[in-house]
Amino acid sequence: MAWSPSDAQLAHDIILRRTGIAVPVSRAAQLTAALDAALKLVPNKTALLDALDKQPMTSAAVRAVVERLTINETHFFRNRPQFDYLRRSLLPAVIEERAASRTLRVWSAACSSGEEPYSIAILLDHLLAGQQWNLHVVGSDIDQQVLAKAREGLYGDWSFREVPAEFRDKYFAQAGDRIALDPRIRAMAQFEQLNLADRSWPSRRPSVANMDLILCRNVLIYFREEQVQRIADQLFDALRPGGWLLVGHAEPNQMIFKRFVAHHVPGTVLYQRPPLAAPRPAPPRPQITVKRPPPPMSLTDLHRLAARDPGSAIRQLEQETNPTVERQLLLCRLLAGRNRLAEARQTAEKVIARQMLNAEAYYLLGIIARETRDTATAVSSLRRAGFLEREFALARVALAGALADQGQTRRAQGELQSAAELLEGKPATAAVMGDPDLNVGRLREQIAGQLTLLKRPSNCFSAP
């Protein structure tokens, strides 16, 4: 049943008000598909709009829409640089600080199927080495279905692609065609439904108050700016004085977190609620702006801006009338990083129209196509990238994943082995073409882990 623009907009406004989920124009088809799925549960469109507006979040119709609009991609130890810093520096420091009370509270907001809070529980178990502590690890999400999966503690191979080797046998065991988390670790975490757009937390939700550490990664990008500011303020209130907040690399600029103290550390930025003994940081002085066109930024300055404020870098690049290919490729990566996949794909295609032999443009097009489940385009584009640039090892790794999505396990293994051969003799710290944040050593680890997954009889290499 077709949705008129006015009805679809009304449904969007209701969803935005109740959940905070903003659906951009590029995802309009996803919105109507979600509404059509929910329409099967109610008599008509009017009844569905009424349900979205008035029924509780746990009702079948509301859940049907929310579950199709939320993106539940996650895995254990996702974003290894951030987890490496947690393991080596931040968590040991917090443990030392809380040693007198032996109490530690961690919240994973928008935890999806639970891999993130369980990863924290594993790190705490490893670091505490049998010491008796009062640990409170809570994961929350708006989607009841993924929370049920989290409580079950059973996962496929795809969830383990970044698990450190030393933790695999210690904390996980094969259970038929799934992999089961150690029951002791599973008991360390609790899960509850929580809507980040709700104003009632943390004041009326003691389970997420007075936290030592909050992880709220890759979720704020889906909210509108005014909601993001309110949620950031609520996260500040949910931390104890001196507590820490970790967000994703693509999250809003640091002005949103102006109440926090920003700490730039290897691999990430951490935000801290100032301790009681420290003076509250003064708000930034208002800047006097002169109404004149800003001069074009150099590519180097754009990369620096993108690292600290991706949204501003995107706006800067979108304003340019005749960008170079290098600037278009940067824009494509930034758009993809903020899940603006349709726009990112268009940008990659524009580069290819200008330079039909640009290997990096085909690589980005392949990565975007795989994210949108367009496996045929992903395979052809990634194969073209590897053909155009013979030393493009990362393109071969990505091609292996796309081939595995199609069930072509043997060919995927061959691409991974070819990629490993391309890296032979190169320093572990050398940069990798296609990803400025990845080095040769880390890519070798990824290749070895993916080869191990592909060789398992119950291989589940492809993305969920």
Q: What is the pLDDT of residue 454?
A: 82
Q: State the chain's mean pLDDT as an integer.
A: 86
Beta strands (DSSP E) in 125-224 are: 134-141, 154-155, 172-175, 178-181, 189-193, 211-216
Helices within 319-374 (DSSP H only): 325-337, 341-354, 359-371
Q: Which tens digit of pLDDT belongs to each residue from 406-418? A: 889 899 899 999 9
**Mean pLDDT lowest among 25-29, 193-197, 450-454:** 25-29
Two structure tokens written together for 246: 């970790």
Q: What is the DSSP string of 270-306?
A: EEEPPPTTSPPPPPPPPPPP--SPPPPPPHHHHHHHH
Cα distances (Å, whole numbers) of residue 283 to 10, 257, 261, 269: 38, 11, 11, 19
42-54 core/surface letters (b: 16 or more CB in 10 A; e: else): beebeebbebbee
Instruction: Using the predicted structure, report yes or no on whether residue 289 has a pLDDT greater than 60.
Output: no
User: Would you state the structure tokens that stand for residue 243, as one six-digit string?
Assistant: 């507590």
Left, alpha or beta for 296 (phi > 0: left; psi -120 to 50: alpha)? Answer: beta
Residue 59 has a pLDDT of 79
Give me the domains of the chain, ranges plus CATH numbers: 5-69 (no CATH), 80-272 (3.40.50.150), 299-455 (1.25.40.10)
- Neighbour tally for 174: CB within 10 Å: 10
455 burial type by CB count under 10 A (0-12 exposed, 13-18 middle, 19+ buried): exposed
Strands lying side by side in the sheet with 261-265: 189-193, 134-141, 103-108, 211-216, 239-247, 268-272, 261-265
Region 217-227 average pLDDT: 79
pTM: 0.53
Compute how many other C-beta atoms are within 10 angstroms of the C-beta atom of residue 310.
Answer: 21
Whole-number pLDDT of residue 463: 42
Each residue of 66-106: pLDDT tens digit?
A: 777 766 568 899 888 889 999 999 999 999 999 999 999 99
pLDDT at 256: 87
CA–CA dist 420, 438 (Å, integer): 15
pLDDT band at 178 (very low <50, low <70, confident <90, very high): very high
> How far apart, in whole angstroms, are the C-alpha atoms of residue 324 and residue 117?
42
Enumerate residues 6+ apart whose C-beta is below 8 A from 94. 104, 212, 213, 244
Contact 332, 367 (CB under 8 A): no
Give the pLDDT confidence score for residue 462 in this predicted structure. 43
Dig out the tokens for 123 from the structure.
């790190």
Between 110-119, 421-430, 435-444, the lowest mean confidence (pLDDT) is in 435-444
